[in-house]
Structures are given as C-alpha cells and as structure tokens.
Chains A and B, each alone.
Chain A
Amino acid sequence: GESVGLHLPTLSVQEGDNSIINCAYSNSASDYFIWYKQESGKGPQFIIDIRSNMDKRQGQRVTVLLNKTVKHLSLQIAATQPGDSAVYFCAVDGSGNTGKLIFGQGTTLQVKP
C-alpha cells in the first residue's frame, strides 16, 4: 500500500536561516499533497498544499516543491523564526484508498536563537 516517509526525524537550524523539510511517497498515482505544522499540545495546522499538476507553490514564507519523477515533496521555510519550532508532517492522498490521507511521521524543527 501507500507509504509516506520523512528523511530526517529532527532538523536543527539557526534563526534566520532557511529550513528544508523533505518527504518521500510511494504511489505515483497520488494527486494531492499537504504540509501540516503541529505545535506542542495542539492539533495539526494546515500550512500549504499542492496538486500533481503543479511542481511548486508558494505561500507566506513557505514554498512546497513536488518532484513527481522521484516521488519527493519538500517544504521550504524562509528566514526561520523561533515560532516555526514544531513538528511538520506531510500527507499524501492514498490513491485507491478512498477517503484516506496517508501521513508521514513528522520532522521536528528546532530553531536555535
């Protein structure tokens, strides 16, 4: 079945630097991809999404890149701030599994002052 993996469980960056969080997925038919942010003690919060007809989408300080050839998704955070410290999940539509999003396990982003 579909699987979603993150490359690093923890990422530590200096305040002001750019952060890149990666995610790999297994199903080439997946069409919809989401990034969530989860702060300690809270539920996941939607950050940005992208569909398979695009390879890049930008939000406020965040960019999602989709490489369908290698089935890779990344989240870039510009000028990382202490408030960006959280766990970041990617989620991928479980194509063939109606109604399901498949979640990665999360990367913990630590921002050093």
Chain B
Amino acid sequence: DVKVTQSSRYLVKRTGEKVFLECVQDMDHENMFWYRQDPGLGLRLIYFSYDVKMKEKGDIPEGYSVSREKKERFSLILESASTNQTSMYLCASSFGLLASQETQYFGPGTRLLVL
C-alpha cells in the first residue's frame, strides 16, 4: 500500500512565524503535491514537484514556498504565517511522467491554526 505521511496532524502557530510542513512518501513516486482544503472551496493546489529540486506553482502559491531535496520528501514552508493561512493542508504523491494522468495518494492532512 502507498503510504503518505505528514509530520503533524494539528499545529497552532502565531502570526508572523515561519512554519514547516513535512510530507514523506514511501513508494518512490516522482510527483508530490501540496493542497489546502477549505470549506466551500474544495482542494486548491499550492505547489507541486515532479522531480527532486524541481517545483511548479499551483493555483495559489502566494505566501508559500516548497523544498524537495530528496525524492521521498516534500516540504511546504509558510514564510510568515498569516491568519488567512488557517486551513487543512494535504500532501499527495503520484507515480509517472504525466502527473495529471495518475492517481494521487493523499496523506492524513495537517490542520493548521494561525492565531
């Protein structure tokens, strides 16, 4: 079974803090993704990566950055957390060269509260 793990299930941070969300997958998948999920807005893609050290902006990259130094690990960074970044963050991974044509497998999510 594919396993995608996220470093924290719940996080509480203060405005202005730098926040790191970590994601690890154990299936040697090329592609990794970060989404946020908000009521009424569904899943929105923040960033994705199709290879080590490669990244592509998604639909809502502002206020976020990412890092992929190893194939199995994809980090989401909030440089200076703001209250409008309070959300559920979901990491996903998929196999293959054409990421949109492959099943994405999700982690359990990190619920972030920014005060």
Given A42-B109, A44-B106, A99-B50, check contact A89 B42 (CB 8 Å).
yes
For chain B, residues 64 to 80, give those with C-beta under 8 angstroms from any C-beta of chain A.
none
The size bracket of the interface on A is: 20 to 34
Which of A11-19, A61-69, A73-81, A101-109 sits within the interface? A101-109
Contact with B along A82-97 (1 / 0, CB 8 A): 0000000101011101
A99 adjacent to B42 (CB under 8 Å): no
Residues of chain B within 8 A of A106, CB atoms compared:
42
Contact with A along B44-58 (1 / 0, CB 8 A): 010010100000101
CA–CA, A38 and B1, complex, Å: 17
Q: Which of A43, A95, A99, A100 contacts B106 (CB 8 A)?
A: A43
Q: Does A60 contact B (CB under 8 A)?
A: no
From residue B33, how far is it (CB to closest CB) to chain A in Å? 8
Looking at A31, A93, A99, which has the most chain B CB atoms within 10 Å of its CB? Answer: A99
Contact with B along A39-53 (1 / 0, CB 8 A): 001111110010000
Contact with A along B73-107 (1 / 0, CB 8 A): 00000000000000000101000001111111111
B100 adjacent to A99 (CB under 8 Å): yes
Interface residues of A (CB under 8 A from B): 31-32, 34, 36, 41-46, 49, 89, 91, 93-95, 97-101, 103-106
Interface residues of B (CB under 8 A from A): 4, 31, 40-43, 45, 48, 50, 56, 58, 90, 92, 98-109
Q: Which are the 10 A-B pairs with shortest beta-carbon distances? A: A43-B106, A99-B99, A93-B100, A105-B42, A103-B43, A44-B106, A43-B108, A43-B109, A32-B101, A103-B42
